[in-house]
Structure 1
Amino acid sequence: MVALITEIGKKMVISVLLVMVLGCVCPALLAIGETAFQTVVVFSFYSYCAISLFSYSRHKLFHVLSIPVFTQFLHLFQKYTFTAGANSIWRLLPFIILNLYFSHYFLTKYLPPTNNEKLLLASWGTIQAFFLIISPNLDRVVWGGSLLFLVTLPMYFLYLKTAMAAVDFRSEMESYLCLLYIILGLGTFGLVIAGSGYKDSDNLLATRNISDTNVTMAYFILLWPFALLFSERKRFSTLLLLIIFGIFIGIVVFSFSRGAVLIVAPYLLISLILLRNLSQGKWMMITIAVLALYTPELFSFLENDDLTYFWQLRFGNIISLSSALARLQEISGRAEIHAIAYQLFLEKPLVGHGTGSFEILGPGYREAHSLLYTLLAEQGVIGVLYMYLLFGSLGMSMFSVFARGRKYLILPVSFAFYLLFNHTVGSVFVIIPGKSVTINCIAPVLLLCLYFYVKSFGVLSPSVARKNA
């Protein structure tokens, strides 16, 4: 991992130097953004995407998986200075570069899909194209929707299918996604700090929205098992486990999300139970116990900095009620949003109103804070049946992990909690809002990683599989 981090740093430095040279040759280039610094960072990232993908690297899988994660940070850094929305070339350029790399890659390395996989890709493209075409929001999401749904995700599927044939695929997947987990965590903390000073904002709830910590929670749920599996087999596994555990807890704290607490707490508890090395769980519990001794000091710090106010504002008296999840829907306003989505569904129950339609037909939110209600409003019965058939197939594919050891059970558990999050807190899948800054497909890429990671057990011979496990 040290070699990979060094490689990332070198390619970032080369990218910055390249943009600085171009800026000296053409000074007008650096005047596009809000400041010259912002412009240099944005163009350096585009340059980094091209260099990392098209130059030699034994860690190419990491660079391919990292582009959506890094792009989320870029979009938040661009703010609205660079044109936002799903049709903005500034938002889509990293994915265009990525798709160009995929096309180049498939010229030399390509495993033809099976008949079932051809049927899956054909049905996916057909149904997503149909829901895009019927959308009343088409003019604001057509390029982003077409690029991510119809090109990027199918190419990720074919790329991971090919990469899965490598003997070290699972171990590399664990290490790369663990590194992305750490980068995503540290980057989110950085955004929270930067967001707290944005336009003199001292409201951490506003900061939470600036840094997208509520959406990011779904990514951590999917990344967590890979980080956990990687830490389990490293020399300093306990220390690494404490680090990744602390990152997850920190994200929950700064998210100020009721759903995050109600979902992540049991998720982490189940994860500890599933650890093969019980001594890690022991040290984790000891660490938690020690931290508990300092709870009064912690609450004193939070009170002095007015941080407990936001938790009290978010939770109210939720704990005193018999049904926390039911109360969650009530006090968060999600029940009203769901009702609007359901009313839109009744207007067009078969096919819905199309991809991205809830943004303009609903109360102004990107989605209905529930995967089910968002699908009902936008894709009707057909879309709901199709998507849940895909989720069901993914869930069925994970049955094989039961024979691979207790630690691998965290994979289907992760998928289950991701679905729980999507149905109670917010729908996090492909993000293509017409106006907002963030355009992304991190969640489905991670679901594909989960699928091919599990499927790779059947590709390798039993002896190699045992060696890698």
Structure 2
Amino acid sequence: MARLILEIGVKMIISLLLVLLVVSLFSDTLIVGESAFQSVIVFAFYTYCAISLFVYSEHKLFHVLSLPIFTQFIHLFQKYNFPAGANSIWRLLPFMILDLYFINYFFTKNISLSVSQKLFLVSWITFHAFFLTISPNLDRIILGGFVLFLLTLPMYFLYLKITMEALDFRPAIELYLCLLYITLGLGTFGLVVAGSGYKGSDNLLATRNISDTNVTMAYFILLWPFALLYSDRNRLAVLPLLLLFGIFAGVVIFSFSRGAVLIIVPYLLISMVLVSNLTRLRWVISTATLIALFAPDLFHFLENEDLAYFWQLRFGNIMSASSALAKLQETSGRAEIHAIAYQLFLKSPLLGHGIGSFEILGPGYREAHSLFYTLLAEQGMIGVLYMYMTFAGLGVSLFSVYKKGRKYALLVTSFIFYLLFNHTVGSVFVIIPGKSVTINCIAPILLLSLYFYAKSLNIHSNSVRQDG
């Protein structure tokens, strides 16, 4: 991991130096943001994208997987000083550079796909091209929809299909996604710190929105099994494992999300049981006990820091729910938004209104705070059936590796909790709103990583069995 971090740092420094050289020669050319500093960092990131992809690296898979996550941070750094929205070249340029790399890479490879894989790619492109075309929001999302839905995600599928065939694919992707898990965690904490001082704001609920922790939570759900699998493969000591656990717990704390508590806490406990031996479990239980013993002092500290107020505001009546199902419904707090989505569905039940339509036909949110209701409104029954058939196929693939070891049940567990989060807290899939600063497709990429990890495990374990 240290060599990879060093490589990332060197390439970032080279990118920054190259941009500074250009700025010194053409002083006013690159100043397009609110300041020279902002502009230099943004252009240095674009340069890093090109260098990391087109310059040789033994960790090329990491660079391919990392760019969407790094791009989310650069989007927040750009704020609204650079044009936002799904049609903004400033937001889409990293993905365009990535797509150029994919095209160049595929020219050197002989791609062999099964019939089912060909059918999936053809159906994916066909369905999403159609649902983009009928959208009343098309003029504001056409470029982002085309790039992410029709180019980037299908090419990620092809790329992971090819790289999955390497024998070291699983340990490599465990390492890379564990590192991205740590990066995403530290970056989120940094955003919380920056957000708490944004324009003098001391409202940490506003900080939560600035750092977009609700969206980020879905990414952590999908990254967490890779962090645990990396920990297990490399026999990490208890302390590093607890630090990984602490990153996730810290993000939950700063999310002020009721859904995060009711969904993530059971997820963390189940996943730790699946991957831990008895000694590790004792350490985790002991640590949790110590935290419980000091909880009164911790809560007193939070009260002094005005942090407890926001927790009480969000969680004050959570114990009054009459059942677990009622608690989850209360977690979302989105009944009215769901009703609007359902009414839109009734107006066009078969086809819906098209991708991105809820943003302008609904109350102004980019989705209906539920994957199911968003699909109902935007893609009707056809889109719902297609997407849930896709999820069913993915679930079967993940469940198929469960018997190869208890720890591999992490894959299907992650998928189940991701879906639970998407149906109770908010839909986190492809993000292409007309006005938002963040344009991304991290969640589908991580779902593809889960799928090809499971497929690699099946293929290579069968090969070993046949050779034996």
Q: Same fold (TM over 0.5)?
A: yes
Deviates more, 1:77-86 or 1:114-123: 114-123
Which aligned segments of 4 or more residues in structure 1 are displaced greater than 4 angstroms? 461-467
Q: Distance between the aligned counterparts of 2:339 and 2:333, measured in 1? A: 10
In structure 2, the residue matched to 1:114 is 114
Q: CA deviation at 1:294?
A: 1.5
Q: Distance between the aligned counterparts of 2:348 and 2:302, measured in 1? A: 48
1:76-95 equivalences under 5 Å are 76-95=76-95
Q: Distance between the aligned counterparts of 1:102 and 1:322, measured in 2? A: 51
SS state at 2:150 partner? helix
Distance 1:318 1:427, change over 3 A: same
The residue type paired with residue 220 of structure 1 is F
In structure 1, the residue matched to 2:73 is 73
Q: CA deviation at 1:318?
A: 1.4
The residue type paired with residue 258 of structure 2 is R
In structure 2, the residue matched to 1:407 is 407
User: Alpha carbon RMSD of aligned pairs, Å?
Assistant: 1.5
Q: CA deviation at 1:466?
A: 12
What is the number of equivalent residue pairs in this alignment?
A: 467
Q: Distance between the aligned counterparts of 1:122 and 1:195, measured in 2? A: 42
In structure 2, the residue matched to 1:96 is 96
Q: Distance between the aligned counterparts of 1:325 and 1:304, measured in 2? A: 34
Q: CA deviation at 1:464?
A: 4.9
Distance 1:147 1:319, change over 3 A: same
TM-score norm. by structure 2 comes to 0.97
Deviates more, 1:442-451 or 1:330-339: 330-339
The residue type paired with residue 388 of structure 1 is Y
Contact 1:231 1:238 in 2 (8 A): no
Write the deviation string for residues 383-430 of structure 1: whole angstroms up to 9, x where unpaired. 000000000000111232122100110110100000000000000000
- Whether 1:237 aligns to 2:237 is yes
The residue type paired with residue 344 of structure 1 is L
Structure 2: where are the runs of 5+ without partners?
Answer: none
Contact 2:259 2:332 in 1 (8 A): no
In structure 1, the residue matched to 2:125 is 125
In structure 2, the residue matched to 1:20 is 20
Q: Distance between the aligned counterparts of 2:240 and 2:257, measured in 1? A: 26
1:16-415 equivalences under 5 Å are 16-327=16-327, 329-330=329-330, 333-415=333-415
TM-score norm. by structure 1 comes to 0.97
Q: CA deviation at 1:281?
A: 1.7
Write the deviation string for residues 431-461 of structure 1: whole angstroms up to 9, x where unpaired. 0000000000000000000000000123225
Contact 2:399 2:409 in 1 (8 A): no
Deviates more, 1:398-407 or 1:343-352: 398-407
Q: CA deviation at 1:277?
A: 2.3
Q: CA deviation at 1:330?
A: 4.6
Q: Distance between the aligned counterparts of 2:466 and 2:365, measured in 1? A: 47
Structure 1: where are the runs of 5+ without partners?
Answer: none
Identity %: 71
SS state at 1:435 partner? coil
Write the deviation string for residues 23-70 of structure 1: whole angstroms up to 9, x where unpaired. 011111342111111111100100000000000100000000001000
Q: Distance between the aligned counterparts of 1:446 and 1:405, measured in 2? A: 21
Q: Distance between the aligned counterparts of 1:299 and 1:133, measured in 2? A: 52
SS state at 1:460 partner? helix
The residue type paired with residue 113 of structure 2 is P
Q: CA deviation at 1:134?
A: 0.3
Deviates more, 1:4-13 or 1:453-462: 453-462
Contact 1:371 1:423 in 2 (8 A): yes
Contact 1:318 1:328 in 2 (8 A): no
Distance 1:450 1:331, change over 3 A: closer
Q: CA deviation at 1:234?
A: 1.9
In structure 2, the residue matched to 1:439 is 439
Deviates more, 1:69-78 or 1:401-410: 401-410
